[in-house]
Amino acid sequence: MNPLPYAHLARGAEHELSLDGTPLSRIARDFGTPTYVYARSAIAQAYSDLTRAFGDRPHQICYAVKANSNLAILALLARLGAGFDIVSGGELQRVLAAGGAPHKIVFSGVGKRRDEIAAALEAGIGCLNVESAAELSRVSEIAREMDRIAPISLRVNPDVDAKTHPYISTGLKDNKFGIPIAHAPALYRQAARDPHLSVVGIDCHIGSQLTDVTPFSDAAARVLALLDQLVLEGIEIKHLDLGGGLGIRYTDETPPDAADWVRAVVDIVDAHPIARHLPIYLEPGRFLVGPAGVLLTRVEYLKPHPDDGKSFAIVDAAMNDLMRPALYSSVMAIEPVTPHATLPPATWEIVGPVCETGDFLGHARNLALAPGDLLAVLGAGAYGFSMASNYNTRGRPAEVLIDAGEARLVRARETVESLWANEMIPDTLR
């Protein structure tokens, strides 16, 4: 059996898998399957690792809410002192409901609606990360209508290759995100002249699941070159937002740790005579919550192939519960909760019940399986539940937080009736 990739996962009596000391079989017994389970201690430790790496250097950690937006996780991070990186009005409302400080919120995203911008200004968020000239004009117009001054930064596209999956690469010139860095000075000049805009920062984000710090350093260097131009024009910058995207280990990746990531950007920034005095913002999502979570699922049927074809283990979780394998061809570790001592292993396709050939959680996994077995998909704390859907009229899973040895339900499993609660049949069809 492969070594477990995360310190908060362990095997105890009879090699049963536990998360932060709580047997996962107990979670399945008490809450059913499929269920997402998160370890509070692992999230807190990851946050602590990042802040400790900065030492006393001014910084702000803005958790990327899209990674996992459960209110309990947002409340935990708010209590730890985190800020938040949001990409929608809905995420803004979630953060506020969880007790997040408005002045620690940065609002990213290429398609902010008028009502979302207005809500952000009304709430008093720290910064709108503007991603186009058209958006800059819209923010100014709304701020004028509200008689507000909107704090903004420009999200610049540094054209740095993050060397990650093309769907999660965001810093190349062909990506939809951000403003080409060569166009940024003119827009900064426009913003600096606008009485309803306050320039507060420079922002960039180059992608997700990065396993090398070099692209972070390259992007920071290009941001500092832009800073030099702005300083010459008398435009004051109050913070540098260098994005997120640090990867985690799913199977055999060897990503940098928190200290490596922080050192890569701080060494570049602190060598600059002006930037060394500016707070650094980082926007981690996956790094903070990904390793903390597992998706529990149960084997419903085994469908061995008698010839040379594939054998299928059909489980009760599906692509609607965990989209990453189908969407990105992501490979995530899958572990039996209680291994069989005598049953021989075989090669299985781990698939779900959704009516799509692309519905799989893992290919060619060498496991000893029997119907009814529990499996744990590891590293599922990020982009798991937050990307889940109700495809095939399937209720989304329950979510459970392991908190000081107690398993606490933080989101109930959806009932079928709840799925059509907002639908209606017109009288003409009755």
Q: Extract the annotated binding site for substrate.
A: 286, 324, 328, 356, 383
| Residue in the structure block whose two tokens are 């398993």 | 407
Indicate which residue of 62, 127, 204, 355 is catalytic: 355
Task: Tell me how long the chain is.
Answer: 430
SS3 (DSSP) at 209: coil
Whole-number Å distance between alpha carbons of 126 and 102: 7
- Helices 89-97 and 114-123 meet at what angle, rounded to 10? 30
Output phi, psi for 332, to 5 deg.
Answer: -120, 140
For helices 89-97 and 71-80, give the axis angle rounded to 10 degrees: 60
Q: Outline where 35-183 has alpha helix (H).
A: 40-54, 71-80, 89-97, 114-123, 133-146
- Three-state SS at 51: helix
Q: How far is CA 244 from CA 65, 171, 351, 373, 384, in A?
A: 12, 12, 32, 37, 18
Q: How is residue 117 written in tokens?
A: 């911008």
Q: Both tokens of residue 220?
A: 């920071």
H/E run at residue 287: helix 286-289
Closest by CA position to 4, among listed 21, 24, 18, 25 = 18
Name which of 355, 419, 396 is nearest 32 in CA terms.
396
State yes or no: is 355 an active-site residue.
yes
Residue 344 to residue 75: CA distance in whole angstroms: 45
Tokens linked to 312: 């299928």
Nearest to 360 by CA among 322, 305, 386: 322
Q: Give the whole-angstrom CA distance, residue 427 versus residue 430.
A: 5
Which residue type does 91 have? E
DSSP three-state, residue 200 = strand
**Binding site as annotated, residues:** 245, 283-286, 324, 328, 356, 383
Q: Which residues carry out catalysis?
A: 355
